[in-house]
Amino acid sequence: GAVVSQHPSWVICKSGTSVKIECRSLDFQATTMFWYRQFPKQSLMLMATSNEGSKATYEQGVEKDKFLINHASLTLSTLTVTSAHPEDSSFYICSARELLGGGGANVLTFGAGSRLTVL
Amino acid sequence: GDSVTQMEGPVTLSEEAFLTINCTYTATGYPSLFWYVQYPGEGLQLLLKATKADDKGSNKGFEATYRKETTSFHLEKGSVQVSDSAVYFCALSGQNTGNQFYFGTGTSLTVIP
């Protein structure tokens, strides 16, 4: 089945530094990837939709300059948290959409998530 | 707009108990419906799905039936195990949502021996 690899799984950084999280589709091409943020014991909050070869579409309230998204190839999207602060500490999850053949439903395949802790 | 309403948790059950997690949806058109599971410290995994009315999705002993008349997609399992402890998310997606996925708030399940 489809696999999405997310790296790193856990990162600790100092306040003011930037952190890059990678999301790769390992055995399929993903023209669209999604980035979510999840606070403890809460649901997923969609941050942005990453489209290969074009600018990401951000959800309302998400700072574009804080959360930089790049989708340079059909198998890789990156999220960079710039000038991270403690309030950016969270669990970030990416997903990629795989279109199933025969008119089947799109299925979202998720990465394992990246836990960011900003000191 | 399209949305998913999910039974609030947390839910605590004894091993071998029957599980139901309710999920209802609001949508124009005919979306596909999904249940995803998130084990502690991990990302989400697709548990099962149904693409049209009366379809039944099933996996690992879990089942859910797409009920158009009640706009529901309740998750059930006849006998839960400790290893089923996780957070369960109901979701929908379809052409009318621009193929975007909408998730419920998640229901935390804890199964005790």
pLDDT digits (tens, 9 = 90+) for A106-116: 678 899 999 99
CA–CA distance, A49 with B75 (Å, rounded to integer): 28
Phi, psi of B83 (to 5 degrees): -70, -10
pLDDT at A103 over 80: no
Q: Which amino acid is at A108?
A: L
Residue numbers in B near A34 (CB within 8 A): 101
Instruction: Give whole-number Cα distances, A13 to A37, A104, B2, in Å.
Output: 18, 42, 38
pLDDT at B40 over 60: yes
**A80 has a chain B CB within 8 A of its CB:** no
Residues A12-28 have pLDDT tens digits of 999 999 999 999 999 88
Contacts of A101 (CB under 8 A, 6+ apart): none
Residue A97: which pLDDT band, with cuts at 50, 70 and 90?
confident
According to DSSP, residue B67 is labeled: B
Residue A30: which pLDDT band, with cuts at 50, 70 and 90?
confident
Cβ of A43 within 8 Å of Cβ of B43? The answer is: no
Residue in chain B nearest A49 by alpha carbon: B100
Instruction: Determine the residue among A3, A43, A47, A90 to mutate to test chain B binding: the one whose Cβ has the most chain B Cβ atoms within 10 Å.
Output: A43
pLDDT at B89 over 80: yes
Largest CA distance in chain A: 49
Å between B18 CA and nearest CA of chain A:
24
Cβ of A105 within 8 Å of Cβ of B93? The answer is: yes
Residues A40-94 have pLDDT tens digits of 777 888 899 988 888 899 999 999 999 999 988 889 999 999 999 999 999 999 9
Residue numbers in A near B34 (CB within 8 A): 105, 107-108
Beta-bridge mates of residue A89:
none
pLDDT at B97 over 80: no
According to DSSP, residue B16 is labeled: T
Residue B7: which pLDDT band, with cuts at 50, 70 and 90?
confident
pLDDT of residue B96: 64
Residue in chain A nearest B48 by alpha carbon: A107
Smallest Cβ–Cβ distance between A43 and the set B34, B51, B106 belongs to: B106
First CA to last CA distance, chain A: 37
pLDDT of residue A102: 53
pLDDT at B99 over 80: no
Q: Could you tell me if B6 and B107 are in contact, meaning their C-beta atoms sit under 8 angstroms apart? A: yes
pLDDT at B94 over 90: no
pLDDT of residue B78: 97
Residue in chain A nearest B43 by alpha carbon: A112
